[in-house]
Structure 1
Amino acid sequence: MSTKSVAASAVHNSTDTRSEVQRRRSFAIISHPDAGKTTLTEKLLMFGGAIQSAGTVKGRKSSKHATSDWMEVEKQRGISVTSAAMQFEHDGCVINLLDTPGHQDFSEDTYRVLTAVDAALMVIDAAKGVESQTIKLLEVCRARNTPVITFINKMDREVRPPLELIDEIEDVLGVECSPVTWPLGMGKGFAGVYNVHDDQLVRFDPGQDHVHTETEIYKGVHNQALKAEFPIEHEAFLDEIELVNGAGTPFDVDRFLAGELSPVFFGSAINNYGVQDILKALVEWAPAPRPRAAETRTVYPDETRFSGIVFKIQANMDPQHRDRIAFVRICSGQYFDGISMKHVQSGKKFRCSQAITFMARDRSRLQTGFAGDIIGIQNHGRLKIGDVLTEGENLELGGIPYFSPELFRIPRLKDPLKAKQLKRALKELGEEGTIQVFERLDGGEVMLGAVGILQFETVAQRLESEFGVNATFEPVNIHKALWVTAETEQMLKEFERANHRRLARDASGSLTFLAPTRQVLELAQEKWPSVTFHTTREYRGLEAA
């Protein structure tokens, strides 16, 4: 054994895995578009000490962009279209923060990210309240009992009454709310936020960094200085606080961890207000990595042996090197430089010595990582979303979803000589989940499937900027693309022979039925009762249509 391997083993055996796991906090930021999610991400990074100044998602002509928005299309549009992983240390904790796309057209990426985290931070626009994408995302969180912290943003604007917002969150999202902070005023009259637990209010001054000092803090709700400075806002504030204290739900950390109760914070991310309260809550209340269910047993995060699941593939994060990175959530044990891993799906072993940790597009070589961490592994087409890596055990960790697409297009090359480049590019984009790619069994044209139209625009821009391929997309007459399984292998082969023209394989090789109309689908389901048509696909199983 080499000196390097001996040193690595010594580190592996001597590290207190349990204490390192307890320091980890892994969470995703979710919201409807334009609620201020990426802005809040920037401010969390800034107050966490990870960056010196926040970028901007407003000035699209500026050379300064949000840290988490690293793709060219994100910089041009000022929106997030892919999830970004960022790790930093704060107040004794190692925080793994994942910024997710807010736009519904990229919801698949967000759903997959939610399977890789232990908590979520939900951002709500105080003027708009609960919006459609927020509802869908919280349904995913509730299905997994994911603890959710709520941040009601943009209190520096003219917004809806806070009591009305709390009622709407509870009624529409079906989750009880426990206000931890409460605003005094709104818009031009926004004076500050009162912390219910600390019985103090911190003054709001637009544009300040809000590294709180004693001169900015007012003790108690009946503070005379506060009453004299904001007489109108203070009177309404007292009435609201009385209701919150009398009829509100007290915060209970156990109910929060069970996904039954959401602590609520108010603030203004763009003005750096309320960010420190969120960071404090994440450190004190968000859970450390939790056990994960496998097919044969429960995997505990403080086990000594490494296991991890691939939840995202990203190509060309570094265009100069044409790289392909597999994002891996460590589920148990410890990663160390030079670790021997088993790729469970293929049964092959390999030595991993160049894993990386992220600050969005920027990365650095990782020496050691623990359960809860998000690490990147160089991938040359071997790893796919949902794949499992271990130190030798044949674990089956599931839960990484693909959804049946709703829109379909056929790519058309402007330069027919670029056919090989297009095929390679679509293979990579399909494997990373940017778009769903279907290759027909009869040798017909490759077909693309998406949840939303913006996915096709993103693919077109990435084809041109990353692969040098110019293509347009033509609509194709497909009603549904559903994955199929059968009770027996023989039955599946018979179904394949009889429906050869309407079958394809996706990027994972899974068999897919392409139904041109609803009637054709219903006839196929009636004729083949032993075949199941699935609306979702994931590693561990399929959900029937």
Structure 2
Amino acid sequence: MSTATGTAQDTAEVREAAAQRRTFAVISHPDAGKSTLTEALALHAAAITSAGAVHGKGDRRGVTSDWMSMEQDRGISITSAALRITYDDCVLNLLDTPGHADFSEDTYRVLSAVDCAIMLLDSAKGLEPQTLKLFEVCRARGVPVVTFVNKWDRPGREPLELLDEVEQQIGLRPTPLNWPVGIAGDFRGLIHRASGAYTKLHRTPGGATRAQEEHLSAEQAAAVEEVAWDQAQEELALLEEIGAEYDPETFRAGISSPLLFGAALPNFGVAQLLRTLVDLAPAAEARLDTSGEPRPVDAPFSGQVFKMQANMDKAHRDRMAFLRVCSGRFERGMVLTHATTDRPFATKYTQAVFGSERSTIETAYPGDVIALVNASALRVGDTLYDGPKVQFPPIPSFAPEHFAVARAKDTRTDKQFRRGIAQLDSEGVVQVLSSDVRGEQAPVLAAVGPLQFDVVRGRMEQEFNAPVELSPLDYSIARRTDAASAPTLHSLSGAEVLTRRQDSELLVLVHNKWRLKVIQRDHPELTMEALLAGGVSA
């Protein structure tokens, strides 16, 4: 076999594998059921045998994707989790994300690594502030959205009202693929719009296993469901009148959104959502590099780090880089090049991650998410490649709104303190700012939300044995500045200039919007550029 033939076969293999990948994230407001839906999808894909979301505080078990002790204690997702699932000859890379607004920067990084997003709506609450914010991130990044209306087994709003809210508030035209029979709180089953088939759903104890499905003809359904069936038919007729039909082009363009109804906790409608992701969600495609050129999926290997996480395995105290494969075939043991430093990076220890569980991965293809172990040289946004150099655009940081000075409670832990702060900075848990005036022993931590500081306190004490004191600062705004403007800004009342460690950029912190306007009015010549705010360009 000639080299040319071998290369052609290799590229064909990569293209075929990329076409089988579906890489997506679940986004929503807190308490909409994101982690529960993640587990329900894994359950229906036979990746787990029973769901771990169990109500009640005393006997509550953490969901599979919530591995951090703080997540399990509080019942919220703080970090993103990567779940790799095989279903119907497709590899699903499902990225669960924090729902709480204080951790939206972590969600932003995840959205840089996916090809599609599931926007999860609470049937009673509809679009909520965090959902709106994250949808705008999807729109800015060109990520198509599938909408799942969750908790239809509980009292909620009218389905047509929810559809109207989505279209009116965010300009996304919903195109329902199924339709509920029975109002929210009296969920009988689902009508598949394309075929007209009806699936009646039966709850299983605690929703721990797959919901039992009973397939009925239209005549049988009408006899069983009676008034609820007639009402659903009237609503379906209205959808046809207004032309709310699925269109692949407008879906991929971010103009419309395939929409499904269900209830994640009892596993109602989850199978249809899983099928929709396999059939309709985009496969891995070419991604733009820093020059604006698309990197074909069958080009030599390249990938981008979108998340850093340390100490997922407490027994080994390791550091893991989550990397989205952008092109080519990855083989464990490859020696890649780190685009930032041009230094070699060995990939001896590479794993697939399912929540807190790991398994060694030998090969990966475009769209896959792999975890590189002991990746102390890497940071969020870094590119690794094989062959000719390629680099992907950096992943921007959010504009922080909360600031605090960190100091070690015990000066004897200074070494652990410095190491811990540096690690949290490199992971993106918080942004770490410093200045010659404050010194290395008192860095300023900058966060999108105050709960990030709770994570810092917990991890510094538990992982680094270096408890910290955090003293809040009276700043609420950060702007990018330059060396020419810094001395003047630093001398002004209500402002302070610090250096962001991760990229050495100069930031000016200002007390409030009023003070910022005064400075801009009195000193229009000074550089004060806006950072990303809430997930979109400010």
Q: Provide the TM-score with structure 1 as the length reference.
A: 0.90
Alignment-mate amino acid for residue 506 of structure 1: R
Q: Which is worse superposed, 204-213 or 296-305?
A: 204-213
- Aligned residue number for residue 269 of structure 2: 274
Report the alpha carbon displacement of residue 495 of structure 1 after superposing the two structures with TM.
Answer: 3.8
CA contact 2:351–2:370 (8 Å) conserved in 1: yes
What pairs up with 1:330-369 in 2 under 5 angstroms? 330-369=325-364
CA contact 1:338–1:353 (8 Å) conserved in 2: yes
Match of 1:131 among 122, 128, 142: 128
- Aligned residue number for residue 328 of structure 1: 323
**Superposed CA RMSD:** 2.5
- Aligned residue number for residue 183 of structure 1: 180
Unaligned runs of 5+ in 2: 1-5
| CA–CA distance in structure 2, aligned partners of residues 313 and 348 of structure 1 | 19
What pairs up with 1:449-488 in 2 under 5 angstroms? 449-485=446-482
Q: Which is worse superposed, 327-336 or 396-405?
A: 396-405
CA contact 1:533–1:544 (8 Å) conserved in 2: no
Match of 1:27 among 24, 32, 36: 24
CA contact 1:48–1:89 (8 Å) conserved in 2: yes
CA contact 1:441–1:505 (8 Å) conserved in 2: no
Q: Secondary structure at 1:243's aligned position in 2?
A: helix
Q: Which is worse superposed, 452-461 or 177-186?
A: 452-461
- Aligned residue number for residue 423 of structure 2: 428
| CA–CA distance in structure 2, aligned partners of residues 110 and 330 of structure 1 | 18
- Aligned residue number for residue 308 of structure 1: 303
Distance 1:306 1:233, change over 3 A: same
- Aligned residue number for residue 44 of structure 1: 41
Match of 1:261 among 256, 264, 286: 256
2:390 paired with 1:395: yes
CA contact 2:306–2:322 (8 Å) conserved in 1: yes
2:245 paired with 1:250: yes
Cα deviation per residue 1:400-428 (whole Å; 9 max; x = unaligned)? Answer: 12111111112244333223222211111
Distance 1:484 1:259, change over 3 A: same
Cα deviation per residue 1:342-381 (whole Å; 9 max; x = unaligned)? Answer: 1111111233222211112211111101111111112453
Identity across matched positions, percent: 39
- Aligned residue number for residue 529 of structure 2: 533
Match of 2:500 among 499, 502, 506: 506
| CA–CA distance in structure 2, aligned partners of residues 12 and 355 of structure 1 | 25
Report the alpha carbon displacement of residue 183 of structure 1 after superposing the two structures with TM.
Answer: 0.5
Q: Which is worse superposed, 511-520 or 469-478?
A: 511-520
Q: Secondary structure at 2:531's aligned position in 1?
A: strand
Q: Provide the TM-score with structure 2 as the length reference.
A: 0.91
CA contact 1:155–1:187 (8 Å) conserved in 2: yes
CA contact 2:43–2:210 (8 Å) conserved in 1: no
Unaligned runs of 5+ in 1: 1-8, 486-491
- Aligned residue number for residue 489 of structure 1: none
| CA–CA distance in structure 2, aligned partners of residues 275 and 311 of structure 1 | 28
Distance 1:536 1:164, change over 3 A: closer
| CA–CA distance in structure 2, aligned partners of residues 298 and 433 of structure 1 | 28
Report the alpha carbon displacement of residue 394 of structure 1 after superposing the two structures with TM.
Answer: 3.2
- Aligned residue number for residue 419 of structure 1: 414
Q: Which is worse superposed, 343-352 or 228-237?
A: 228-237
2:171 paired with 1:174: yes
Q: Which is worse superposed, 55-64 or 451-460?
A: 55-64
2:234 paired with 1:239: yes
- Aligned residue number for residue 4 of structure 1: none
Distance 1:253 1:45, change over 3 A: same
| CA–CA distance in structure 2, aligned partners of residues 212 and 496 of structure 1 | 65
Distance 1:143 1:10, change over 3 A: closer
CA contact 1:441–1:500 (8 Å) conserved in 2: no
Alignment-mate amino acid for residue 302 of structure 1: V
Alignment-mate amino acid for residue 525 of structure 2: P
Q: Secondary structure at 1:410's aligned position in 2?
A: strand
Distance 1:358 1:15, change over 3 A: farther
- Aligned residue number for residue 288 of structure 1: 283
CA contact 2:154–2:186 (8 Å) conserved in 1: no
